[in-house]
Amino acid sequence: MVVALSIGPFPVAMSNGLADLDERTNYPVLPAPTTMSGADASTQLKSLVAVISPAAQTWFGKREVLSMSFGAGALLQATPAGYLFATARHVIGTADWSVASKPRAMISLESGVWSGADVIARHQDLDLALVWIPRHSGSTSFVQPVAAPLDGEEILVIGHPEGLKFTLSTGIISRTENSSLQISAPVSPGNSGGPVYDRKGNLLGIVSSTMDKSIRPNAENLGFAISAKALLAQAGWEFAPGGRAKVEVR
């Protein structure tokens, strides 16, 4: 298995917030009342997906810059205070995590403008992390609905495979086992941390890995995700200083 994390820089424009979301006057109504077509899903759901990279420091520690790897993230909440995203833990590289540290990430949306964000929590056992960025203006709210995955149901996956930002792919849930989902939708490096939605826009999972074809050359459409139900559980999370206060339990 390999993590679906891509390597390589993007052209960089920097900001101190997410104007894409601050300026929004509405969000898609989810779950949708009827099954979404691929075109509807592309229009409504891609704007809820982020590009996420670990934050690095310049040699003199004066400013944050992008690292050489990136994945995806899914918007969970928009509140008057800020925006909460879920991603895969390996996307933001928390190997040196400690309760005293304040790990950071870089995040951008469809505009391509990057901003620094706080990594406020990581799951102790699962490949999940939470990223939060403060809001500067606007008041439109959003809460991403989460649903239990079902074997065989159709899914939509959005991410940035091989740097092809905001790519939509489709498939089914092939198998579920505890908190792990096996999915047939194609995933590649750059999909890590991206959302797995059902056809009504409920969040079912967060992409974690794909089968390494250099080791298993016959593997086809073998991707894996962590069930989004784990995002609703209070147990198993380790919070950075001040992180717990930023999460509203739903």
pLDDT in tens, 189-212: 899 999 999 999 999 999 998 665
Q: What's residue 249's pLDDT?
A: 43
What SS3 class is residue 27? coil
Is 70 exceeded by the pLDDT of residue 216? no
Closest C-alpha to 130, from 20, 197, 226: 226
Ranges of each domain in the chain: 9-144, 154-231
User: Phi first, then psi: what are they for 126, rounded to 5°?
Assistant: -110, 160
Closest C-alpha to 144, from 90, 210, 206: 206
Q: What's residue 99's pLDDT?
A: 53
**Residue in this structure with the two tokens 């050359």, named with its chain if needed:** 217
Mean pLDDT confidence for 131-145: 95
Q: Alpha helix (H) ranges present in 46-147?
A: none
Rounded to the nearest integer, the mean pLDDT of the chain is 86
Give the count of beta carbons closer than 10 Å to the beta carbon of residue 248. Answer: 11
Instruction: Give the separation between CA 218 and CA 241, rounded to whole angstroms.
Output: 45
**CATH architecture of the region 9-144:** Beta Barrel (2.40)
Model pTM?
0.88
Out of 1-5, 8-12, 103-107, 114-118, least confident range: 8-12
Q: What is the b/e burial string over 25-63, where b = at least 16 CB atoms within 10 angstroms of the residue's CB?
A: eebbebbbeeebeeeebbebbebbbbbbbbbeeeeeeee
**CATH architecture of the region 154-231:** Beta Barrel (2.40)
CB distance 49 to 161 below 8 Å = no
At CA 142, angle to CA 157 and CA 107, rounded to 5? 60
